[in-house]
Amino acid sequence: MIKKILVSQPQPSNDKSPYYDIAKEFGVEFIFRPFFKVEGLTAKEFRQQKINLLDYTAVVFTSRHAIDNYFKLAKEMRITIPETMKYFCVIETIALYIQKYVQYRKRKVFFGTSGKLDNLVPTMVKHKDEKYLVPQSSVHNKAINTLLGGHKLKHKECVMYRTVSNDLTEEEKKDFDYDMLVFFSPTGVQALKKNIPDFEQGETKIAAFGPATAKEVTKQGLRLDLEAPSEKFPSMTSALSDYLKKNK
């Protein structure tokens, strides 16, 4: 029986979060505890990459962190992002988050349906004349460069933020007793093993968001019980709701 779920993300600031609806519907308790923190680069650090934001006509966003730090850096460097800028997001929930910074217009905001960049590429190819900027974390692989380069899309990747450890306290380690763990990045999975080296999964369910996170779960010798996003369930909350319904 799943009763207590650890979500490795900060607690939602909005009381209308789907997590609260799930808690009420299925009688589960969510504990929000990120295993790492995201820090944005300073304007000084970013300038070392010798990238001018205004040299690009479109931005590719793979996470909310990328959106936050793109607009934060623009503000720090006193750059006004033009109205003509186009935004390509891997999924609608990320696209909608842009409203926090700019007026949302469908003609300049595009998104995929699976949460994976390869699902977004066909749309990007339709706009092949754009110059794409891809904000990323300091920890990333060459997959995006290979994918976009393979479709001959003019693009540049840049680092805008990094992850730093947010270790569990001794008390948290002692009381680490959850029926399910929900991860959103490979770093979170690695942090679990770093904080609790002798962790044994047993009956504990593990959910992962994104293919890289899912891969890291199995790489660490753990069993993956739930993976999102998918065509049917684009968000972790929708996938989680379905999983709890089936395993009630």
Catalogue all structural domains in the chain, each as residue range(s) with its CATH number. Answer: 4-35+166-203+222-246 (no CATH), 39-163 (3.40.50.10090)
Give the max Cα distance, the chain: 55
CB-side neighbour CA atoms (13 Å) of 46: 26
> What's the pLDDT at 105?
78
The two structure tokens encoding residue 83: 């109205």
> What's the pLDDT at 237?
96
| 104/97 Cα distance (integer angstroms) | 9
SS (H, E, C) 198-236: CCCCCCCEEEEECHHHHHHHHHCCCCCCEEECCCCCCCH
Compute CA distances 47 → 51, 77, 202, 247, whole Å. Answer: 7, 9, 47, 50
What pTM, to 2 d.p., does this model score? 0.67
> What's the pLDDT at 153?
96
> What's the pLDDT at 139?
76
Compute CA distances 188 → 4, 9, 215, whole Å. Answer: 18, 9, 12
> What's the pLDDT at 164?
81
> What's the pLDDT at 126?
96
Residues in the chain with pLDDT values less than 50:
none
pLDDT digits (tens, 9 = 90+) for 89-115: 998 989 999 999 998 777 799 999 888
| Packed helices 143-150 and 117-125: angle between N→C axes, nearest 10 degrees | 30
> What's the pLDDT at 171?
93
